Amino acid sequence: MPVKLRIILKPDDTRKLLLRDGIPNTMEQLMDEVRKVCGLNGEFRLQYQDKDFGDALVNLTSTDELEDLSTIKVIPISDECSQRSDVIVLEDAQSPLSLSWHSDDTEILSSPSSSVSTRSEMWPREFPIPKFSYDTELQLEKGNAEYRANKTRFEHSTKTKSDILEKVAEEIFKFKAYPTDADYSEVAEALIKKHPCLSEPGSYNGCYGWKQRLKTKMGNYRTQLKGTGCSELLVNSLKSKTPEDALPAKNVKRPRRGEANHIPDLPTGETQEKLENERLSLLTDIKKRDNRAVIKDKMAKTFSLRRREIVEKELGVEELRERWPALFTVDEINAEFLRITTVPLQTRFLASLDKHYSKLIELIRRKGGVIREKTQEILKVLDLSLEANIKRECLLKCLILYLGEDPNQMIKEYLVSS
């Protein structure tokens, strides 16, 4: 049977590959077809959307992973391009599931839901101080040299201070619109760590004044962005609130912990009416068989509309299920979690489960009474098995019993038939 594949060469260059004889048996044959159709020279590798990881891009090592209407991405390989994969050894080295592979070259697929306001990563462990304007960088370079030589602090002008605060505020907003007090402290400390000449005399940590200035600057920056129509900020404007909530500090809708994309702006070229029509068509598409690719694209495109309904209108679960039935499928739960938090749900959960495997099993084995009787047979299967997935399954069932729930009510098992 003929097969169609979507090939991403660049963010603005996507092509269709028609394989009249079906998917090739080997990677070499597939790469030859891609090279021929796209006119590529040199070495490259392929990535594909892995359903297990919420459609994140993963390196393709076998053509068995592909199916009709799959998406693959071409990654050029050059001498400067590092293709190393690091093995992360988790803290519990005794766990049979303690090794986890991490690849530093996989990318999250840009989707139709993307806009300028869409964030692609969470708050970093070490905040990256951006580059400032040329004259500011020149002054800071000289100031840092003097500070290291004789501890002389830099006397910055109003223009220099304004440039620093402006650039840092923009960088903060890339990760959060409403940073916490601890976030401001991290940013201020990162600023004087990179540019020690900016440290302040008399401050208990050398950067308390910068922390307060950043708070004020972020407030002004949010007001500025609100005027340009930023959805995440407009939701808290007085015009958007009901008359009884029309107070600046009342019913403020801020991202919950872990949310990177709270209320993204509408995708470029889309309107609320167009997206509502897409939502209505999804109600029909969800009833069709083998329609996952269409559903996935439309759910990604309507992400901003869905977030507005959930955050602004505060829809209940039943109403949400009625309006967005596709959201309650396994694939879309993973995809939506990735869109909101930029973190793959299933991957992160299994990695944490593997990390704490030995301690959890030890805790369950020490439990007596009814829990021991109920988990005894499951633990026998676990002890006899060497397969990681079976061990995870047994551990999850034991945890469900440990928490006083019934695994039969929470896990459904199916037999695969031809």
In 260-329, which residue ranges form alpha helices assigned H by DSSP?
A: 272-285, 292-301, 303-312, 317-323
Identify whether the C-beta of residue 96 lies closer than 8 Å to the C-beta of residue 110. Answer: no
Question: What's the pLDDT score for residue 115?
Answer: 64
Task: For 174-203, write each residue's pLDDT tens digit.
Answer: 999 999 999 999 999 999 999 999 998 888
Rounded to 10 degrees, the C-alpha dihedral 312/317/320/325 comes to: 150
Question: What's the pLDDT score for residue 78?
Answer: 54
Identify whether the C-beta of residue 107 lies closer than 8 Å to the C-beta of residue 73. Answer: yes
Q: Which residue, chain included where needed, has tokens 């603005």?
A: 12
Percent helix, strand, coil in the chain, to 5, is 50, 10, 40
Tell me how many degrees the CA angle 23-52-398 measures, rounded to the nearest 5: 140
In 179-302, which residue ranges form alpha helices assigned H by DSSP?
A: 181-194, 208-228, 231-234, 272-285, 292-301
Question: What's the pLDDT score for residue 37?
Answer: 82
Question: What's the pLDDT score for residue 105?
Answer: 37
Question: What's the pLDDT score for residue 114?
Answer: 59
pLDDT in tens, the chain (418 residues): 888 888 888 877 888 888 888 888 888 889 888 888 887 777 788 998 888 777 788 888 888 888 888 889 998 875 333 333 333 333 344 444 543 433 333 344 445 455 666 787 888 889 999 999 999 999 999 999 999 898 888 888 899 999 999 999 999 999 999 999 999 999 999 999 999 999 988 888 889 999 999 999 999 999 999 888 888 888 888 777 777 777 776 778 888 888 888 888 888 888 999 999 999 999 999 999 888 899 999 999 999 999 999 998 888 899 999 999 999 998 999 999 999 998 889 888 988 888 898 899 999 999 889 989 999 999 999 888 878 888 889 999 999 999 989 888 888 777 776 5
Task: For 15-29, write each residue's pLDDT tens digit.
Answer: 888 888 888 888 888
Give residues with Cβ within 8 angstroms of 15, minimum separation 6: 6, 7, 9, 37, 38
First to last CA, the chain: 19
Whole-model pTM above 0.85? no
Question: What's the pLDDT score for residue 90?
Answer: 38
Question: What's the pLDDT score for residue 100?
Answer: 42
